[in-house]
Chain A
């Protein structure tokens, strides 16, 4: 044994290939002695060095060595002889024994050559990304679907018929110019951020701001209503509903809040505040009411009471320049004063010539029942006339009737406790709304002015809210009040008496407790400020209460980040500064603080912009690394940085320079091409792990590797068969394997991009519209996607009993109705003629005429595309074949049969037509039918040249799965390998194809078996030497 082994090793050293190729059967002698004369007799008449018919010179082959050097010629020759195309009719034919002798010799020769060359990686693979790969790569780089390749020249197919074949991927200046345009366009989608960038579907800054705004608003909406208010009623209701549970275990609050989509933080705070027994002036009543709450109605009442108090505690602020100063939208509305002057401009009169207004007082505090308000010196002032007292006006006005309860002259000068009171003063009760009616003519254009004061004799713990208004009831107490209903700016609604400092401080503190628990607004939901000139702000951030009371730490961090981004993206602070500077000319007294704030913010933005330049360049390098599918050597980093610097030196702003360098990355050959380094020598060498990662991702995803695959490759693990297998499995499961379904699957069947298919008469088939075509496209894609992801057996491509439909497609296929436009798998579809490749209406429709079926096209497609048959070139001047559905009363089938009777046509048509006849059960848009347009019954019987008979789609499927199983498998393997390698199949791939078929056989046809054979093959993992 040992001896044998040694000899064997010696053979290996000498070159096994040499040993095989020198076997005598097909040796040079056999060729020179037997084949060459045969070829001379039958071929050289046309294919001599001189005649060179069809560019073919067979005379130049003097020995076997020369034949081996140009083996493809003989591969082609074998096919021509096998198909009886050569020698051509009219020329001297080969005798039967000569023919078989020649064929055997050629087959043997090619078999040996196939073995000798086996594993050749094939021509090296510098190839441009095709349009789909370009779009997918841009998607994976940017995270957004930009599809810039839409306007590129459309791709052509080469090799085994796929769009990724090197030969089809030429480049020209026109194409490059489009790449440049596309790269610049993509670069415009980069949204520069303080610490890096991201990509937006939009190239417009305004829309980037909007996207950030939407995020901010979405967070606001999560916890507040449209006015930026906390929905107190919901929170209160929860505290009532779960009172017992909360009481026994506070921890349950969080779970309940999450379930009810409330803020756990606020719910907890509210719960505790409501149960706190420390007295608090403005909370006491609320707690009492809460304790008495049982029904939903009670809760609503409590919410009303809170809202009513809020209106007193908060009011709208003077907006001018103020938004820049603090970040709250409403401000505390309660100010204590002993005496206040109120004004009310007289409105236009009512139809009866009168004007009615209301004086309203509401008191709070323990002694409120005993409190009086003194209304002093009520008068109507005019700009150019002396004032009139209200008393005079009322005296001159029409007298009210007794039941009106209107203010009349009798109240003036009269104190209820008979204290002295001036004649123009009067007293109001602590809880009184007093209507006043005057004759309009007397007061036109005047303003009511009155000084209001709490009766100094009232108790010190009383506070009275007073307002003048034109409506009988206060609007502000309604729930869900609009902003404008809140007490207007400049109002200072609270009064007190004898307000020493200590009292005031305690009131303010109590008010503060109320306000901290029940802010009137917790955010400014619109964010965008309408009147930027007045507010000196473009975006108003008023969410301090939201952040403090409702958001958890993570949400607060996001919110801060989004705001930072918003200012960074919109550059609003710079704009505000600019408009502020034009508004405030020079130094303006009283605005120093505002100026400082506005300028400070703008300066901060400018600093952030400068600071961001470094992270932007870092992001650019990281981007280039992903785009190039490998780490960036220092030199390349330098070159990108120096281009950036060069552009900056040429006075391009950072933004433009950065985007230009980004565009430069996207037209780099390292991005646009799949470059693999060849090593010197004549022998193939293994690819690096990173190069293999790229091959793998372009095979399975038609795109660049993701970070995980790059990481595995960088770790040097990808050549490990188990790691490779795990990655393949992961990648097939990933959504990106959809590209394999499209670029390999639908392209193989020639139905890629079926949504755009325009080949049907709209007049005859109005239902065959764009949505249906898109649905058919999707069905075809999903069939392959499922095939790869679920690792289905190859035969399922023909005999699957499932397909994928949406509502429209289920209807078209007359399957049980499904709801909705989304796609789902449905089973038991064979009985309605669906499932598998042949059941796809996309396939049936594509290989038909515009108005009629075409058994010829369908049959030819099955023979060539599914079975890999090579049909001879049709004769010159093929006879006519009508394109209409019915000619001279003949069915399509009869028409085709008549055409095929012509001897020059029969050779092919006898082979292909029967396959197409079996599919006559389906009309030109792929619907099942039992009669043609003219109402004649369908004849789907087929008989092949060899006498084999079958009928209809089922018969055809059965034929393909039994009689032609090997041909179908072989063709599938050939196409899959051709796609994976991006080139045509060579003689040297023959063994690999056999291995694929064998692997499928061993694994119940599961497609992963074939894929794994490919990715482990030398063809896939090696590259030819540079001198090979």
Chain B
């Protein structure tokens, strides 16, 4: 990268040191890059990608099911759009999050979906670092962008039933107190992936505020230090991004099938129609994986307690209210969401990476925060698509109903393992799911 500004290395190093000394749980794991890299180092195999798609308020109570194996697998009506992918599909039911059974409905059932953490009530905001962000912090440095967190519905700005709706609006958490902001603007998501133009003065400017914030931090209360620590860490990470911009971080041996985006930057602003919005975000996800700009992506298609409407489906109601009706409209809405998953799977399946397709190298997890609109959280809906680089065998139904130890965090342990992030425990789980 072209860096015209020369400055004393010693000062930079000191500042870096200051940033690094900020004791935040999610940062402690950051500097240990390399350890996990060995998984793919030196190989010519394409990397494994992970995406999590989410939709809120569950699905039609009677039509979320799968039976049988492989070609013979039968799918409930909600899942019909996934028919072509039956052999690459793992239907998982019976898993749950113990913490979602306490506290309120909706928000209190969503904020911990990917972490299993306890959510703080009374208008406080505290969850747990989500599995996608744990991975981003451990292996995200392998790509230009550690992880991409996308959304198609703005954060709900309320406290509902004693729980902040931030929980309804975020499944990705960079730290227990930091919901990862969702990028809603397709154009800005595109920029995040492909823009490489730090200003000439950016580094100096960031260094200056880093120094300043370090000074301030010593003057505030212990409790406040946390917030400023968060700021310092953010400044430091933006510096690193600038440092990394334009540098090829990839390991030797394998190159993505696409180096530059083959699609134009989407228009500025928010798309008017929800179907267009979702489609653009799906395209960006595919593009991010195809160019290997990131390997970890969360796409939150809507919020739990969602206020989206679907005039293009001829459905008049608001997503949340329709979810309580469990009728034909609700089914239509469900299928529309599943079509987004199917669209991504189809696009990934069309991209050949050596012997396999990009879909074969991906694990595409689709989740909701409840099984159906009645706030049922004892049996979370989950579908896994793709081969995870040959590590996941599709065409199966895995049911954990009535079994002990059916924490959904076990699923996350399994998935992280396949991504090269090996943890002994995560959330309320200490053991991965052997079957996945």
| Separation of A1025 and B221 alpha carbons in the complex (Å) | 8
Q: Residue on B with the closest CB to A765?
A: B316
Q: How far is the CA of A127 from the CA of B376 in the complex (A)?
A: 36
Interface flag for B311 (CB, 8 Å)? yes
Closest to B240 in A: A173
Do A167 and B125 form a contact, CB below 8 Å, given A669-B216, A673-B231? yes
> B181 touching A127 by the CB < 8 A rule?
no
Mask, B283-307, CB within 8 Å of A = 1, is 0000000000000000000000001
Of A154-162, A212-220, A807-815, the one with at least 4 CB within 8 A of chain B: A154-162
- B327, chain A: closest CB distance, angstroms: 7
Contacts of B311 in A (CB 8 A): 761-763
Question: In the complex, which residues 496-554 of chain A have their Cβ closer than 8 Å to any Cβ of chain B?
Answer: none
The CA of A878 and the CA of B318, in the complex, are separated in Å by 18
- Verify A880–B221 contact, CB threshold 8 A: no
Contact partners of A152 in chain B: CB under 8 A = 181
Assuming the contacts A170-B230, A171-B234, A851-B317, asked whether A650 and B4 have C-beta atoms less than 8 A apart, the reply is: yes
CB <8 Å contact, B105 and A874: yes
Report whether B325 and A882 are in contact in the complex, using a CB–CB cutoff of 8 Å: yes
The residue in chain B whose Cβ has the minimal distance to the Cβ of A756 is B154
Complex interface: chain A residues within 8 A of B5 (CB): 647, 650
Q: Is A174 an interface residue (CB 8 A)?
A: yes
Q: A876-B376, A883-B329 are in contact. Are A156 and B155 (CB under 8 A)?
A: yes
A864 CB contacts on chain B under 8 angstroms: 161
Total number of residue pairs linking A and B with CB closer than 8 Å: 265
A153 and B150 alpha carbons, distance in the complex (Å): 11
Q: Are A158 and B124 in contact (CB under 8 A)?
A: yes
**With A761-B309, A851-B316, A878-B375 in contact, is A153–B182 under 8 Å at CB?**
yes
Q: Which of B374-416 contact A (CB under 8 A)?
A: 374-376, 378
Find chain B residues with CB under 8 A from A1028 CB: 221
B205-241 CB mask vs A (1 if < 8 Å, else 0) is: 1101101110010011111100110110111011001
Q: Do B155 and A154 touch (CB < 8 A)?
A: yes
Per the bound structure, the CA–CA distance linking A537 and B175 in Å amounts to: 60
Write out the residue numbers on chain A whose beta carbons fall within 8 Å of the beta carbon of B264: none
Q: Which residues of B contact A69 (CB under 8 A)?
A: none
Residue with the greatest number of chain B CB neighbours at <10 A, chosen from A166, A172, A877: A172
Asked whether A876 and B375 contact (CB < 8 A) given A153-B155, A161-B158, the answer is yes
Q: Are B181 and A643 in contact (CB under 8 A)?
A: no
Expressed in whole angstroms, the Cα–Cα distance for A170 and B169 within the complex equals 14
A250-269 near B? 1/0 per residue, CB < 8 Å: 00000000000000000000
Residues of B within 8 A of A127 (CB): 227
Closest B-chain residue to A162, C-beta based? B159
Given A650-B5, A673-B231, answer yes or no on A157-B208 (Cβ-Cβ < 8 Å): no
Q: Which of A125-142 contact B (CB under 8 A)?
A: 125-128
Q: Quick check: is A396 within 8 A (CB to CB) of the other chain? A: no
Asked if A571 is at the interface of the complex by the 8 Å CB criterion, the answer is: no
- Alpha-carbon distance between A123 and B122 when the two chains are bound, in angstroms: 15
Decide if B307 touches A758 in the complex (CB within 8 Å): yes
Smallest Cβ distance from A634 to chain B, in angstroms?
14
Taken together as a complex, chains A and B put the C-alpha atoms of A854 and B124 apart, in Å, by 29
Interface contact B124-A163, CB-CB below 8 Å: no
- Most B CB within 10 A of own CB, among A170, A664, A675: A170
Q: Which of A32-40, A175-183, A328-336 contacts B (4 or more CB under 8 A)?
A: A175-183
Scoring A residues 869 to 889 as 1 if CB is less than 8 Å from chain B, else 0, what string do you get?
A: 011011011111111100000
Q: Please tell me the number of chain B residues within 8 Å of chain A, measured between CB atoms.
A: 91
Count class of interface residues, chain A: 35 or more
Distance in Å: Cβ of B233 to nearest Cβ of chain A = 8
- Cross-chain contact B228 with A673 (CB below 8 angstroms): yes
Which residue of chain B is the closest to A166 with respect to CB atoms? B227
Question: Would you call A154 and B230 a contact (CB within 8 A)?
Answer: no
Residues of B close to A340: CB separation below 8 A: none
Task: Identify which of A419-427, A455-463, A652-660, A827-835 touches chain B.
Answer: A652-660
State whether the Cβ of B421 lies closer than 8 Å to any Cβ in chain A: no
Q: Is A165 an interface residue (CB 8 A)?
A: yes
Q: What separation, in Å, do the CA atoms of A32 and B81 have in the docked complex?
A: 62
Q: Are A747 and B105 in contact (CB under 8 A)?
A: no
Contact assessment for B159 and A883 in the assembled complex, using a CB-CB cutoff below 8 Å? no
Contact assessment for A161 and B123 in the assembled complex, using a CB-CB cutoff below 8 Å: yes
B201 on interface, CB distance cutoff 8 Å: yes
- Among B5, B234, B326, find the residue whose CB has the most chain A CB atoms closer than 10 A: B234
- Within 8 Å of chain B (Cβ to Cβ): is A651? yes
Instruction: Check A411 for interface membership: any CB of B closer than 8 A.
Output: no
- B171: interface (CB < 8 Å): no
Q: Are A158 and B180 in contact (CB under 8 A)?
A: no
Identify the 7 closest CB pairs spanning chains A and B, nearest first.
A153-B181, A156-B166, A660-B201, A173-B237, A126-B224, A161-B159, A176-B234
A sample of 5 more A-B contacts (CB under 8 A), given A173-B234, A673-B227, A883-B327, is A156-B179, A160-B159, A669-B209, A851-B317, A874-B375
Can you offer 23 A-B residue contacts whose CB atoms are under 8 A? Answer: A54-B102, A125-B224, A128-B227, A154-B155, A156-B179, A161-B159, A165-B123, A167-B177, A168-B164, A170-B175, A656-B201, A661-B205, A668-B213, A673-B228, A678-B219, A758-B308, A759-B309, A763-B311, A873-B105, A881-B324, A883-B325, A1026-B221, A1028-B221
